[in-house]
Amino acid sequence: MSPKSRATPSRPPVRSKTALPAPRVAPKRIRVPWHRRRPVQVVLALIVLGLLVLAVTQGLSTWHHHQATMKAKKGVKAFDAAYQTELTPLSNFFTQVNNSPQQYVGGVMPQATYATQTAQWLATFQALGKQLSDASPPRAIQGARGLLLQATDIFIDGVKELQLAGTVNDPKLRQTLVDQGRTVIFHGTSVFKNAQIQEAKVVKSFHLTIGAPASALLQLPDAPPENAPPAPSPTPVPSPS
């Protein structure tokens, strides 16, 4: 075997210590638009979701408020319609109560006619009181309903006094009972007028037509001032002895 045919291991080339390293090329930076960056997209998605939730919540709140308003408006309209139907008999009562008791006391009206009228008055207010008690109007008109019911109870007390006057024979006691009954009714009228004002305000606030009250309800005066107590009699002074 010739010496040239022997396999000789190859030696790696010896790098010169003075050789410079190959220059490093910086990677090319790709500029991503701000709206396509992941954190920005997450924040934008949260903002959009919050706005959608707010819009849905506001829409539902507005819808529920509208439904509640329409329901209350319907209830106020029904209450006012029932109240307006009672104004005619009430007007008749106020017209008669200004004249009939004095005519009866003065002997112009027979006792039977007076008894019939007072019975009709009592039936009118008892029916009105039952209607107001059974009514379930919306909260907006509950205050006016309470005043109307309070006035009705006062009217019933006054009518009972007038009825009692028709059962006595003593003219002086009869006049006293009539005066007491009329005073109670006048006090009830003051409450009734306030109830009318409150009821009209509520009806107007719902943009409903306000029925014109009977003229007799506006013409009836308020409670007259109570009579001043009689002056005490002077105490006799003993004469000097």
User: Could you read off the pLDDT of 136-175 as tens digits, one per residue?
Assistant: 888 888 888 999 999 999 999 999 999 999 999 999 999 9
For the chain, what is the HEC assignment? CCHHHCCCCCCCCCCCCCCCCCCCCCCCCCCCCHHHCHHHHHHHHHHHHHHHHHHHHHHHHHHHHHHHHHHHHHHHHHHHHHHHHCHHHHHHHHHHHCCHHHHHHCCCCCHHHHHHHHHHHHHHHHHHHHHHHHCCCCHHHHHHHHHHHHHHHHHHHHHHHHHHHCCCCCHHHHHHHHHHHHHHHHHHHHHHHHHHHHHHHHHHHCCCCCCCCCHHHHHCCCCCCCCCCCCCCCCCCCCCC
- Looking at the predicted structure, is the pLDDT value of residue 237 above 50? no
63 versus 101: the higher-pLDDT residue is: 101
Write down the CATH number for the domain with range 72-219.
1.20.120
pLDDT grade for 230, boundaries at 50, 70 and 90: very low
Report the pLDDT value the prediction gives residue 223, as an integer from 0 to 100.
52
Where exactly are the structural domains of the chain?
72-219
Question: Quick check: pTM over 0.85?
Answer: no
| Average pLDDT in the chain | 78
Find the mean pLDDT for residues 204-230: 60
Q: Which of 5-14, 75-84, 147-156 has the lowest mean pLDDT?
A: 5-14
pLDDT of residue 76: 84
